[in-house]
Structure 1
């Protein structure tokens, strides 16, 4: 989440919230100011887009669909495999179409973020994956 222009806004936090904010910032290697700005931006996005939530992942903080383990970019990968057919993607997941459509709307609004995640996924091969997940085993179908 980057902005080309920014402004300074002052706010007061309870002392306990400041401590929690600093812990979060340290965990991610951010300044408390950066963490505050990210949390505000995420809160705004949550309020503007149905079913969207944010979570930490091995690739950093990402937009997810609430109540699922799927990030928005993963849903877009699925929808693209169905040539943009939201209903087919929803049927595949066993979800209401509205949840898949929510991911599509988010991806339309934040295309660069989603395209970057998709490109990173495309660039990851099995060797990179097994370094992250040592228990991973490659499965090859007998039919090719």
Structure 2
């Protein structure tokens, strides 16, 4: 939750309020924190086309809608991609508009993206295996 906040009263249908409380409980959050997260993600979805939010091994993060590609990875790959967003889109077999949307999101939230890139760099096979027990190592010989 941001340091600076405001109180906003919202009236919800009873069934929606109960669903919100269940969601908050499952996430170990207060209903207020869960509401704030849902509103923030909804506003970001409205502001950035083709962006969705999901839970992952790195926590809750932005993904390119309809894909398994997190925004931070698109931003990281774009650093070295030839041909800019269009070149990266061809390389990933994704529409260029989706890649541009991810890069727009990354530009708007650089601290979030930098933290995700840093966190992903800290993963080694042992750490990944704790999160994903089915992970296997394959050796490729030429």
The two structures have a TM-score, normalised by structure 1, of 0.90
Is residue 132 from structure 1 mapped to residue 98 from structure 2 by the alignment?
A: no
The two structures have a TM-score, normalised by structure 2, of 0.92
Matches within 5 A, 1:115-126: 115-126=114-125
Distance 1:63 1:84 in 2: 24
The equivalent residue for 1:37 is 36
The equivalent residue for 1:108 is 107
Is residue 87 from structure 1 mapped to residue 86 from structure 2 by the alignment?
A: yes
Gaps of at least 5 residues in structure 2 are none
Gaps of at least 5 residues in structure 1 are none
Q: Compared with structure 1, are the counterparts of its residues 84 and 127 closer, same or farther at alpha carbon in structure 2 (3 Å cutoff)?
A: farther
What whole-Å deviation, never above 9, does each CA across 1:3-52 have from its counterpart, x for those lacking one?
23110000001111111111111111110000011111111111111111
Question: How big is the shift at 1:85?
Answer: 2.1
Distance 1:134 1:45 in 2: 33
What whole-Å deviation, never above 9, does each CA across 1:72-91 have from its counterpart, x for those lacking one?
11212222231682122100
Any idea what SS the aligned residue of 1:81 has? Answer: coil
Distance 2:138 2:79 in 1: 23
How many residues are aligned here? 142
Deviates more, 1:65-74 or 1:106-115: 65-74
Any idea what SS the aligned residue of 2:7 has? Answer: coil
Deviates more, 1:107-116 or 1:2-11: 2-11
Superposition CA RMSD, Å: 1.6
| Runs of 4 or more above 6 Å deviation | none
